[in-house]
Amino acid sequence: MMLYQSMKMAFKSILSSKIRAFLTMLGIIIGVSSVIALVSVGQGTTSQITESLSSLGTNQLTVNIMGRGATTSLTFEEALALGDIEGVENVSPVISGNVTAKHGTENVSVSVEGIIPAYEDVQDFHVQSGRFLLDIDTEYRQKVALIGTDTAEDLFGTDSPVGEKVQLNGTSFKIVGLLESKGSTSGGSSDEKILIPISTAERFLQSKGVRSITITTTSNDNVEDVKTKLESALDAKFSGAENSYSVFDSQEMLETVNETSNTLSLALGGIAGISLFVGGIGIMNIMIVSVNERTREIGIRKAIGAKKKNILMQFMIESVVLSGVGGLIGVGLGLGASWAVGNYTTMNVATSWNMVLISFSFSLIIGVVFGMIPANKAARMRPIYALRNE
C-alpha cells in the first residue's frame, strides 16, 4: 500500500511540471538515441564489409608489388608463374587505370582493369548477359570489354550495351558482356568499371608489368603454407628488399576489419554514453531543486508519521520514472533514426538489440544512482527544520 501511495505521489509531482520533466529527460533521450543510432550504423558498416570479404572466401591471398629500384612490378609471365606454387588453385593478375569512356554524346570517367579469364572465378564476378573474356582475347590482344551496370546505364541508358562500341580515351572497344551488379565495397563501386584483356591493357594503359595479383588456394587449411612459399618466391625476385611487396590473406583482413569496426563502434557508443552521464547529472540537479522547493510538503508528511523510507521511496521513484521514460523515448528515437538512415541513405544499418537493452538498462541505473543523493537529502530532513525553512 505504501509503495502504491509513493508511486501515486511521484507521478503527480512529475505531471504537475511537465515542461521541467521533459527538459530533465532530454539528456537521457539524446544519450540513449545517440548510442543506438551510432552503434547501429557502425555495426551495419562492419556487416557490409565482412560480407564483402567473406563472399570472396577465406582462401584468398592478395599480393601488392611496390618494387625495388628499377624493378617496380612483375611481368605478366612471372605473375602467372606464381600459380605453379604448390597449393595455389588460381592466379588473377590485374592492371588498372582510369580512362574517359564515351558513347554518342555521353561520357564518364571510369576505372579500367586489365584481367584474365580466371578473374571470373577468383573474384566471383560474372556476367548477366553476353560472355566473359576468353583466353583468345588475351592471346590476340582483342579490343573487347565487359562493362559494369552503373557505367552501362550512364552511357547507354536502359538499352542493352552488349554488341555496342564504346570509346575509351578515343580507342574503340566492343562490349561483349554486361557484368552483374555487385554494389559498393571498401575499395569503391564494383558497378562503375570496365574490364578488358590484360594484354590489351598493358599497351592501352601504357603500364609495364603487374602490381596487383589475387591468388586462391586449394583449401582454407593451406593458406599460411602458400603465403610462406609465395613470400619466399617474391624475396628471391626482389633480393629480400623490405617493403618491395605485401601479401594479405582475406582471413587476416577480415579480422583486422572486425577489430577496427568493433573499436569504432565502442568509441561511438562511449561518446554517446557521455550524454547519458550528463543527463544523469541533470536529473540529480532537478531533483535537488525539487527537494528544496518541497520542504514544507516533506515536513508535513514526516510530522504526520511518514517514515524515512517512505520519503526516500517517493523521490527515488520520481528519479527512476524520469530516467526510464526518457530511456523509452530515446529507444524509440534511436530505432527511428536507424530505420531512416537505412532506408533513405546508402549506408547499411544493423540494429543491435543488445545495445538497445544495455542503453535502456543504463538509463534506469542512472535514475537510481543520480536520484540517490536528493532522495537521501529529502528522507533525512527533520520535520521541524523543514517547516521552519518554509
**DSSP codes, 291-346:** HHHTHHHHHHHHHTT--HHHHHHHHHHHHHHHHHHHHHHHHHHHHHHHHHHHHHSS
Give, in degrees to the nearest 5, the angle at Cα 328 between 327 and 331.
85
121 burial level (CB within 10 Å; 0-12, 13-18, 19+): middle
Q: Are 122 and 212 part of one and the same domain? A: yes
Q: What percent of the chain has pLDDT over 70?
A: 85
Is residue 75 within 8 A of residue 202, CB to CB? The reply is: no
* Residue 57 counted as domain residue: no
Task: Give the mean pLDDT of the chain.
Answer: 83
The model's confidence at residue 165, banded by pLDDT at 50, 70 and 90, is very high
Q: Are 176 and 260 part of one and the same domain? A: no
Helix (H) or strand (E) holding 22: helix 18-55
* Residue 59 counted as domain residue: no
Is residue 105 within 8 A of residue 74, CB to CB? The reply is: no
* Residue 248 counted as domain residue: no
Please tell me the predicted confidence (pLDDT) of residue 272.
65
* Residue 34 counted as domain residue: yes
Is the pLDDT at 111 greater than 50? The verdict is yes
Please tell me the predicted confidence (pLDDT) of residue 269.
67
Q: Are 234 and 372 part of one and the same domain? A: no
Is the pLDDT at 282 greater than 90? The verdict is no
**If you search the block for the grid coordinates 529527460, which residue do you land on?**
25
Among left, alpha and beta (phi > 0; psi -120 to 50; other), residue 205 is: alpha
Give, in degrees to the nearest 5, the angle at Cα 190 between 81 and 202.
40
Q: Are 260 and 183 part of one and the same domain? A: no
**Of the candidates 204, 220, 243, which is a domain's last residue?**
243
The mean pLDDT value for 325-331 works out to: 88
Is the pLDDT at 1 greater than 60? The verdict is no
Report residue 115 as a C-alpha cell. 584481367
The model's confidence at residue 107, banded by pLDDT at 50, 70 and 90, is very high
**Of the candidates 209, 243, 277, which is a domain's last residue?**
243
Q: Are 82 and 135 part of one and the same domain? A: yes
Q: Are 131 and 34 part of one and the same domain? A: no
Is the pLDDT at 139 greater than 90? The verdict is yes
Q: Are 91 and 236 part of one and the same domain? A: yes
* Residue 251 counted as domain residue: no
| φ and ψ at residue 36, rounded to 5 degrees | -65, -45
Say how many domains are in the chain. 2
Q: Are 46 and 82 part of one and the same domain? A: no
The model's confidence at residue 308, banded by pLDDT at 50, 70 and 90, is confident
Is the pLDDT at 206 greater than 80? The verdict is yes
Q: What percent of the chain has pLDDT over 90?
A: 36
* Residue 28 counted as domain residue: yes
* Residue 22 counted as domain residue: yes
Q: Are 371 and 224 part of one and the same domain? A: no
Domain hosting residue 171, numbered range: 67-243
Q: Are 165 and 236 part of one and the same domain? A: yes
Which tens digits make up the pLDDT trace of 24-62? 788 788 888 888 887 888 778 777 766 666 655 678 899
Q: Are 122 and 153 part of one and the same domain? A: yes
The model's confidence at residue 6, banded by pLDDT at 50, 70 and 90, is low
**If you search the block for the grid coordinates 548510442, which residue do you land on?**
35
Helix (H) or strand (E) holding 96: strand 88-103
The mean pLDDT value for 291-307 works out to: 70
**Of the candidates 221, 243, 265, which is a domain's last residue?**
243
* Residue 249 counted as domain residue: no
Say what the pTM is.
0.61
Which tens digits make up the pLDDT trace of 360-390? 888 888 877 777 777 777 767 666 655 555 5
| φ and ψ at residue 196, rounded to 5 degrees | -135, 165
How many angstroms separate the CA atoms of 107 and 51, rounded?
A: 32
The model's confidence at residue 10, banded by pLDDT at 50, 70 and 90, is low
Of 141, 134, 81, 124, nearest in space to 250 by CA: 124
The mean pLDDT value for 228-249 works out to: 87
Please tell me the predicted confidence (pLDDT) of residue 290.
73
Of 211, 226, 182, nearest in space to 61 by CA: 226
Q: Are 218 and 102 part of one and the same domain? A: yes
